[in-house]
Structure 1
Amino acid sequence: MVDEQQLRQWGNTVIDIEKKALDNLYQYVDSSEFAQACQLILQCTGKVIVMGMGKSGHIGNKISATLASTGTPAFFVHPGEASHGDLGVLSKNDIVLAISNSGESSEILTLMPVIKRMGLPVISVTGKPNSNMAKLAQLHLCIEVPEEACPLGLAPTSSTTATLVMGDALAVALLQARGFTEDDFALSHPGGSLGRKLLLKVSDVMHQGNALPQVKHDICITDALYEISKKGLGMTAIVDDNQTLVGIFTDGDLRRVIDAEVNLRTTSIADVMTKGCVTITDNVLAAEALKVMEQKNINGLIVTNAQEQPIGALNMLDMVKAGVI
């Protein structure tokens, strides 16, 4: 068995080496080439085509996904497959972001004459400023690292980390330059939890119409309990003769009423309801409704219109089902 302390030491050494690699990256982001690369991509009316072989390809896939989800149209093209037809996805308005730590990826270099013939600008990302890819590109982003975290100096470790961070730096700089907003982000993530949090409104989640629990203020507690049981939200809105919300009665209120030995058949619901209850409008985000419930330590909300009339209701279970939680 390998000593646990030794394993931890090896792990910490990797982190220390990769931290140094990232510290070394500042000088390359501060260079004029980084800003020029951002400007070139901002001016692009097509797509950013990301290429990379091996580990650089895996990192390139992540970079293209990050760019695409933050407002810069992009996708990954495998250089090996590009030589056999996939290069057809390139159009005259595109930019190529070519990644290779050595800067000598034969698969990418083979494509360079075709890319040049199409007149597409190339931004290379390499650890070797004097490499062929660096020289052939219109712009070069350096990701040179002092050393790999692999003690053999063979497995890409620090270099892939530096490449990924350089890609993130590009994507986030472009995001901010475009004024990309949360709403924009949600539109490209409609199926995920992030999209649901940023797109779903209370109106999309609430129970309304016949599903809305609601009773008049002058009925007895027993009749109100029937409404709560029928609608299954653990609460009911209480309204006056003008259909204006005057209170709420919940499962928690029922427990207090029972403890007080109140007569459920003869006592009016208006005598035991909670007045001045917390409400919300239907046009706010469901995530905001969740925040209100958490802050107020309540399990449900009545949704009202401008006339303070109940138009809907929702509870924590609705948030779970909608994927907001």
Structure 2
Amino acid sequence: MNTPPLTARDPTDASQRDTELALAKNILRIESEAVKALIERIDDLFLDAVDLVSVCQGRVIATGMGKSGIIARKLAATLSSTGTAAYFVHPAEALHGDLGAIQTTDVVVSISHSGETPELVRLLEMTRRLGVKTIALTGTPNSPLGTNSDIVLDCGVQTEACPLNLAPTASTTAALAVGDALALVLAHRNGFKEADFAHLHPGGILGKRLLRVDQLMHAGADIPTVTSTALFSEVIKTMSAAGFGMTCVQDADDVLLGIVTDGDIRRCLINTTTFENKTARDVMTQRPHNVKPDTLAVDALNLMEQNRITSLPVTDGDGKLYGILHLHDLWQTELF
């Protein structure tokens, strides 16, 4: 078949512009209405699917052909990134040796708008023979795929967004939305939190934005500390050795009393002519800004920027000194 050559839009043709803008808007309208129509179909069957996956002792195997296969890959990726172990298995490859990747403890989620895709129907026969539980996401619940699956979720649409009503568009968007709903309700049920997300995304910018202070701070012997009675000379010595431009002041129980910064030293030099009897208590800033160990790094950075400071003491719930976070520690997070 000969494909007509591509032609650029004539910028002087107002009617072409209006036609194409109207077409684009209608495509988005059809797809958004397709997703909106799914809301009324979310019922106990959907919760049955959540139940089935939540008690699964193996993994979720997502599968589909063509465009539906791409949606299945996305579903597997979303499940994996939100705490549910999942893989994509190509149905044709499964029928030619990869069936061994599916175990009896797994749950298979098959995606097909027609519900008649030969490779999926054949794979369904094999998985049922193995005793594997199956969920179908299909636009045709009474299809072979729908009627032979343990649970079927209706993803049907009235029409595709494609002007020819041929290319999978609204139907794949609907399947994508239902898959996202399934994955995220599972994550909610499993108590998936920001910290879990960061653990599964250590290399991405999202994971870095979810790093906690206790993953970046200096602790133990690396924390510069003096007592409130430490002489001025000892304060200077401690600050110089640590290289943070500050030192924490704590009591005998390690409770943070204040901090002494380079700025505190300069102000003292301006207002005082003798330092022989000056102690840390005399020059420290009381009740300094501080954060808890589980504070997000991005929030600690925001606190630093708002108050124009470069170091933050880290304290526990009892006010005891737990660590020190310096602005340099945040450079590796690429939050700047």
TM range (shorter): 0.7 to 0.9
2:296 is aligned with 1:287: yes
- Alpha-carbon deviation of 1:19? 1.2
Q: Report the equivalent of 2:149.
A: 137
Aligned to 1:46: 58
In the alignment, structure 1 residue 272 sits paired with structure 2 residue 283: yes
Runs of 5+ consecutive residues of structure 2 not aligned to the other structure: 1-8
Using the TM superposition, give the Cα deviation of residue 169 of structure 1 relative to its aligned residue in structure 2, in angstroms.
1.5
Contact residue 27 and residue 161 of structure 2 kept, 8 A: yes
Paired residue for 2:113? 101
Distance 1:233 1:11 in 2: 56
Please state whether the residue corresponding to 2:182 is helix, strand or coil: helix
What SS class does the counterpart of residue 38 from structure 1 fall into?
helix
Deviations along 1:9-53, one digit per CA (max 9) or x if unpaired, are 4443332221111111123223x4323322333343322211011
1:67–1:304 distance in 2 versus 1, CA, 3 Å? closer
Q: Structure 1: give runs of 5+ residues left out of the alignment.
A: none
CA offset digits 1:135-184 (Å, max 9, x no partner): 33232211111222222323322222111110111122333344445555
1:29 aligns with 2:42: yes
- Relative to structure 1, is the Cα distance of residues 28 and 276 closer, same or farther in structure 2, using a 3 angstrom cutoff? closer
SS at match of 2:178: helix
Larger deviation, residues 245-254 vs 150-159: 245-254
Partner of 1:236: 247
- Helix, strand or coil for the counterpart of 1:97? strand
Give the alignment of 1:198-213 within 5 angstroms.
Answer: 200=212, 202=214, 204-213=215-224
TM-score w.r.t. length of structure 1: 0.79
Shift of 1:233: 1.9
Query: What residue in structure 2 maps to residue 312 of structure 1?
Result: 323
Which digits, 9 at most, give the CA deviation of each residue in 1:200-256, with x for residues without a partner?
Answer: 452x432245533334655447x7456445423232224579976543122443565
Counterpart amino acid of residue 13 in structure 1: N
AA aligned opposite 2:294: L
Q: 1:71–1:180: 8 Å Cα contact kept in structure 2?
A: yes
Partner Cα distance (1:246, 1:112) in 2: 67
Distance, in Å, in 1 between the alignment partners of 2:316 and 2:57 is 44
Secondary structure (helix, strand or coil) at the match of 1:75 reads strand
**Alignment: residue pair count:** 319
1:287–1:324 Cα contact (<8 Å) kept: no
Relative distance call for 1:87 and 1:250 in structure 2 (3 A) is same
Kept in 2: contact 1:200–1:286 (CA 8 A): yes
CA contact (8 A) 2:213 2:325 kept: no
- Structure 1 264/108 Cα, relative in aligned 2: closer, same or farther at 3 Å? farther
Counterpart residue number, 1:16: 29
1:247 correspondence with 2:258: yes
Checking the alignment, whether the CA contact within 8 Å between 2:213 and 2:300 is kept in structure 1 is no
Task: Work out the CA distance in 2 between the residues paired with 1:70 and 1:133.
Answer: 27
Aligned identity (percent) is 39
Q: Report SS of the residue matched to 2:168.
A: coil
Evaluate the alpha carbon distance shift between residue 257 and residue 289 of structure 1 in structure 2; reply closer, same or farther with a 3 A threshold: farther
Structure 1 contact 215–238 (Cα < 8 Å) conserved:
yes
Instruction: Tell which deviates more after alignment, 89-98 or 111-120.
Output: 111-120
**3-state SS of 2:286 partner:** coil
Cα 1:243–1:93 shift into 2, 3 Å: closer
